[in-house]
Copies of this chain bind each other. A is one copy, B any other.
Amino acid sequence: MRYSEQICPRFQHAVEILGKRWVGLILRLLMERPLRFSELAERLEVVGDRMLADRLKELELEGVIERRVYPDMPVRVEYRLTEKGYGLGAVLDAIGQWSEQWVELPEPLAPGATH
């Protein structure tokens, strides 16, 4: 099998999972502990409920997170990382460290600043 055929699809798939908007943050939050939908929504603030639900469903289908239903009253639903999901911790750390060191964001203009 050729070099590029062998390595690229796995790598590509991993990057695609991480490349969808908010996935990095969702996983980062779940690294700390399992969370309910409302807890995730509260911490993510700017992310709409519909988009959050879509991302969670996709991550569940990827086997990265797991949705657990507890038969309390009212029913409690929690999202938690699977072993596969926890394995992404090292990836998130590496990307986080690199981007903090190397990615420059456009600075907001200070009041009175001239460009």
Known: A4-B45, A11-B24, A105-B9. A91 touches B94 (CB 8 A): yes
- A-side binding surface: helix, strand, loop or mixed? helix
Select one of B4, B43, B99 contacting A10, CB under 8 A.
B99
A11 surroundings in chain B (CB, below 8 A): 24-25, 95-96, 99
A50 at the binding interface (Cβ < 8 Å): no
Point out which of A12, A93, A101 has the most chain B C-beta atoms below 10 A from its C-beta. A12
Known: A21-B12, A105-B9. A44 touches B99 (CB 8 A): no
Interface residues of A in 35-60 (CB under 8 A from B): 43-47
- Count, chain A residues at interface, CB 8 A: 44
A7 at the binding interface (Cβ < 8 Å): yes
A107 at the binding interface (Cβ < 8 Å): no
Would A2 and B46 count as touching, CB distance under 8 A? yes
Would A98 and B88 count as touching, CB distance under 8 A? yes
Would B25 and A7 count as touching, CB distance under 8 A? yes
